[in-house]
Structure 1
Amino acid sequence: MSYLVTITPAQLSFAVQQDETILAAALRNGIDFPHRCRQGVCTSCVCKLKSGEVRYNEPQPLTELDKQQQFTYCCLAYPKTDLVLHHPFIRG
């Protein structure tokens, strides 16, 4: 099973496999996706969740403020549904 992830405003879409992070799938698809640490620390891969649901392995990386802001740490996030994410620096 895979999920379709769309990044706005670039309107890039790619498939993410069930046990693959959003970042790993983006890189596999040749998308120039900002990242550094791959541990949820540097925040360069953080997107805003516009629609859909994601899951994280424990321990849950999000703070309450992150949840309120709809932040998604793409290096750690696995889609539960098709997603629309916003990242201002990703270009098509």
Structure 2
Amino acid sequence: MSQQADFQVTIEPSGLTFSVGPTETVLQAALRQGIDFPHRCQQGVCTACVCRLRSGTVTYLPPEPLSAQDKSMNFTYCCLAFASSDLVLHHPFIRG
């Protein structure tokens, strides 16, 4: 029985890193590890947790939460995003 490994998330510009499991969102992983990650609604509405995706890939459960403009700006809704690879995200207010 094989188990998918955790992925590594790096937040720029702070350089903060944490791991995210295959069944948790990026936000859930950050909060589980005691990271002060901005969030409010946890439903993809308030945009407090939105980061810019610098590298890596994420997936979302349907329905797709991102608009065409969100995608063009490389926005990632961390409360809804599942890591599909190691990630580098940018959020100016997350500190290490």
**TM-score scaled by structure 2?**
0.95
Give the structure 1 partner of residue 76 of structure 2: 72
Structure 2 residue matching 1:14: 3-state secondary structure: strand
Stretches of structure 2 that go unaligned for 5 or more consecutive residues are none
Q: By how many angstroms is 1:71 displaced?
A: 0.0
Q: By how many angstroms is 1:66 displaced?
A: 0.2
Give the fraction of aligned pairs with identical amino acids, expressed as a percent.
Answer: 63
Q: By how many angstroms is 1:46 displaced?
A: 0.1
The structure 1 segments of at least 4 consecutive aligned residues displaced by more than 6 Å after TM superposition are none
Q: Counterpart amino acid of 1:72?
A: T
* Coordinate RMSD, CA, aligned: 0.4
Structure 2 residue matching 1:24: 3-state secondary structure: helix
Aligned residue pair count: 92
**TM-score scaled by structure 1?**
0.99
Give the structure 2 partner of residue 38 of structure 1: 42
Give the structure 2 partner of residue 16 of structure 1: 20
- Tell me how far apart the structure 2 counterparts of residues 19 and 64 of structure 1 sit (CA, whole Å): 26
- Tell me how far apart the structure 2 counterparts of residues 32 and 46 of structure 1 sit (CA, whole Å): 14
Structure 2 residue matching 1:23: 3-state secondary structure: helix
- Tell me how far apart the structure 2 counterparts of residues 29 and 20 of structure 1 sit (CA, whole Å): 12
Stretches of structure 1 that go unaligned for 5 or more consecutive residues are none
